[in-house]
Amino acid sequence: MTMTHVKRAFKYRFYPTDAQAAELSRTFGCVRKVYNMALQARSEAWTLRRERVNYNATSAMLTGWKRTGELSYLSEVSSVPLQQALRHLQGAFANFWQKRAKYPTFKSRKKSRRSAEYTSSAFRFRDGRLTLAKMDRPLDIVWSRPLPRGAAPSTVTVSQDSAGRWFVSLLCEDRPSMPAPVNTAVGIDAGITSLVTLSTGERITNPRYGRKDRERLARAQRELSRKTEGSANRDKARLKVARVHARIADRHRDFLHKLTTRLVRENQTVVIEDLTVRNMLGNRTLARAIGDASWTEMRSMLEYKAQWYGRDLVTVDRWFPSSKLCSACGVIAARMPLNVRAWECACGARHDRDVNAARNILAAGLAVAACGDGVRPQRSTPGGQSSVKQETSRPQRSRAAAQPRG
C-alpha cells in the first residue's frame, strides 16, 4: 500500500499588530482592485474585440498599472497576492469556459471575502514562526492544533471574516505518521436522540453549550432588530450576531474534531451508514436533530482522517434495515416506528434501538470488507495522486450493498 500524499490546509486564528492589520487591510484592498480591473479588461477585450486575455497579459497589465501615478499604491504591498488574484481570475475564466461556473463577477467591498494568498517566495516559515512579506515580525498565531511534524506550508492564505476575526490558512503537503494498526472496528449510528451511538453501546450527545449559545444568539438578534437601518449601532449589533454565530460554529467543530480523531485512532475500521441528510429531511424532528448533529461535517472529517491515518471507512447502503434487524438472530421486525426506542425480538433479545442499529451497521460493514477478494476495501484516494482535500463531503467509497445474514 503506497503512502498517500495529501495537501491539506491548516487554519488558525491570529492576532495582528496594528501595523500588520493595516498592511493586510491595504493588501486586501489592492487584491480586490487588481482582480476587478483585470476582470474589466478581460470582459472589454472579449465583448468589444472578441479577444481572449490570458494570465500573462493581465500580469503585464499589472506592471503597467503600478507605473501610473493614480495606481502607484499597488506597488506598496507585496506583489505576490496580486499575482495570485490574477491566477484565481484565470481559474475562474477556465471554469467558465468549461461550463463549470458562471461568468466571473466583480468583488465588492462589502460582500466579498477579504483575503490574500501568499506563495513561498512571499513568506518565511521557520521554527513555527510565520512572517509575511512587507512585515518585520511574525504573526501571532494561536496554534490550536499542531501542524504535522516536518510540515512546510507551500501557500499561506490570510483572511478576515465578517466578525472581524483574522485567520491564516497554511496549505501543507502532509506525510502523516501512521499510528499503529489496531484490530478494533466500530459501527456508528447517526442519532436521533443522541449525536451518534456506537456499536460498543456508547452514546455521544451533542455538547450542552447549545442552548446557552442559542439564548445569547436570540438576544443579539433581538438587539439587532431594534436598531435603525443604516445606523452605526446597527453595524455593531450585526457584528455581535456574527460573533455569536462564529463562536457556536467553532466550538461545535472543535468537538467534532476531537470525536472523529478519537474514533479513527482507536479503530482500524469505521463503519457508517450512507445516510444522506436530504433523505431524512422529510421528518421535521429528524431535520432538527440532524441539523444540530452536523452529521455531514462529521462524515467528511471521518473520511479524510481515515485516509490520513491509514484506516478504513466503510459505508453501508442506506436502505439497509439497520433499525429493524435483530443483531442477535438476524430476523427483521415488521415495523419500527421512530418513537420506539427499545424493543424485544421474538428470539428473546432486548435491544436499545440505536445500539442495535450500530451493531448491525458494524456487522454489515465487516461483511463488505471481508468479501472484497480477501483484501481490505480500496482506499479512498482518487488515482493515488496528491489532491487537495477540502471540508466538503463527497462519498469516496462505492456504496456497498449489504445483505443481512440469517
- Give the footprint of Zn ion on this chain (CB under 5 A): 326, 328-329, 345, 347, 349
Reported for 31-35, long-range contacts at CB under 8 A and 24+ positions apart, including other chains, are: 31/81, 31/82, 31/84, 31/85, 31/115, 31/116, 32/85, 32/107, 32/109, 32/112, 33/71, 33/74, 34/62, 34/65, 34/74, 34/82, 34/85, 34/86, 35/85, 35/86, 35/88, 35/89, 35/106, 35/107
Residue 312 known to be catalytic: no
Cβ proximity to Zn ion, 298 vs 325, nearer residue: 325
Residue 306 or 358: which CB sits closer to Zn ion?
Answer: 358
The least CB distance from residue 332 to Zn ion, in Å, is 10
Rounded distance between C-alpha atoms, residue 219 and residue 241, angstroms? 9
| Least distance (Å) between residue 371 CB and Zn ion | 24
Q: Which residues pair with 345 in a beta bridge?
A: none
**Least separation, in Å, of the C-beta of 360 and Zn ion?**
11
Query: Which residue, 22 or 329, has its beta carbon nearer to Zn ion?
Result: 329
* Least distance from Zn ion to the Cβ atom of residue 325, Å: 9
C-beta of 299 vs 359, nearer to Zn ion? 359
Say which residue the cell 495529501 belongs to: 6
CA distance 362 to 357: 9
Q: Among candidates 148, 129, 132, 151, which has minimal Cα distance to 140?
A: 129
**CB of residue 255 to Zn ion, shortest distance in Å:** 35
Residue with cell 482592485: 33
Closest CA to 320 of 361, 269, 276, 278: 361
- Those residues whose C-beta lies under 8 Å from the C-beta of residue 223, and which sit 6 or more positions away, are 237, 240
CA distances for 264 relative to 79, 164, 188, 258, angstroms: 42, 34, 12, 10
Which of 23, 273, 297, 312 is the catalytic position? 273
C-alpha cell at position 132: 509575511
Cβ at position 350, least distance to Zn ion in Å: 10
Residue 404: CB minimum distance to Zn ion, A: 12
Nearer to Zn ion, 268 or 327 (CB): 327
- The yes-or-no answer on residue 44 being catalytic is no
Find the angle CA(402)-CA(339)-CA(190) to the nearest 5 degrees.
45
In the residue annotation, 189 being an active-site residue is answered as yes
3-class secondary-structure state, position 111: coil
- Selecting among 174, 297, 312, 354, the annotated active-site residue is 354
- Is the Cβ of residue 309 or residue 343 nearer to Zn ion in the bound state? 343
Q: Determine the Cα–Cα distance for residues 405 and 355; give it in Å rounded to an integer.
A: 18
Q: Which is nearer to Zn ion, 242 or 349 (CB)?
A: 349
Which residue of the set 23, 189, 297, 303 is catalytic?
189
Q: Compute CA 295 distance to the chain's CA centroid, rounded to the nearest angstrom.
A: 12
How many residues in the chain?
406
Catalytic site residues? 189, 273, 354
